[in-house]
Amino acid sequence: MFDLDCTLVDTLERYFELFNEMLEERGRRRMSREEFQRVYVADELDDVISPPGSPRRDEELHGFWMEFLRRYREDDPKAVLIPGVRELMEELHSRGVPIAVMTSCIVPRERLMEELNGLGIGRFVRAIATAHDVVRDLESGHHFSKVEIMRLAARRLGIPPSELVVVGDYWNDIRDGKAIGARTVAVLTGKMRRELLERYGPDAIVESVRDLPGVVSFTG
């Protein structure tokens, strides 16, 4: 089960652009690329949106990120396949390994499949689950929870979570993958610091998905 952004595809440019766009809409100044990169890799963007200690911090963060996830794919996300992704997908497919793709973006799975087809990997994907499928849970819960998305993807694959490997670049991929009982592998293509990912206890950390065969034995 693969996370999408910054695990299979590089969309950091879209992230940078939309984050700044939403800051400006709220009367805040834009961040430079250097500043954004520094804060992003340290996982401190929340502090840019709402200062620590703000009485409305939880409300402000939830509102910002839910809007962010709704808008992320309204325009072209400028997605580019991360090197090695297509080759890995082809290998897994040839071995009969079922593949799921999931994302926190609030986008219909049909539209996401169109994107994957455009990137040349849709034919390898058996199941898709997005935040659009579970948005009611997110509205009343937490914007960064992927637990219900992952559970839905597992059901659509028809595979028990205990037999899954969740692969992602962000801490919530690891935390929530472990919460459903899956094995977890963190990739560094999302630029998150290794020590931040290590806090959540992934079963392995690799540079990129192309390194998965070195830490996972695949069987169909």
Q: Are 28 and 85 found together in one domain?
A: no
Helix axes 171-179, 147-157, angle to 10 degrees: 60
pTM given for the model: 0.92
181 CA to centre of own chain = 18
Q: Which pLDDT does position 77 carry in this prediction?
A: 83
Q: Is there a domain that residue 131 lies in? A: yes
Q: Is there a domain that residue 17 lies in? A: yes
Q: Are 111 and 200 found together in one domain?
A: yes
Q: Which pLDDT does position 213 carry in this prediction?
A: 92
Q: Is there a domain that residue 194 lies in? A: yes
Q: Are 53 and 162 found together in one domain?
A: no
Q: Give the residues of the chain that fall short of pLDDT 70.
A: 137-143, 219-220
Query: Among 23, 42, 71, which residue terminates a domain?
Result: 71
Give per-residue burial for 160-173: e unless 16+ CB within 10 Å, then b: ebeebbbbbbbbbb
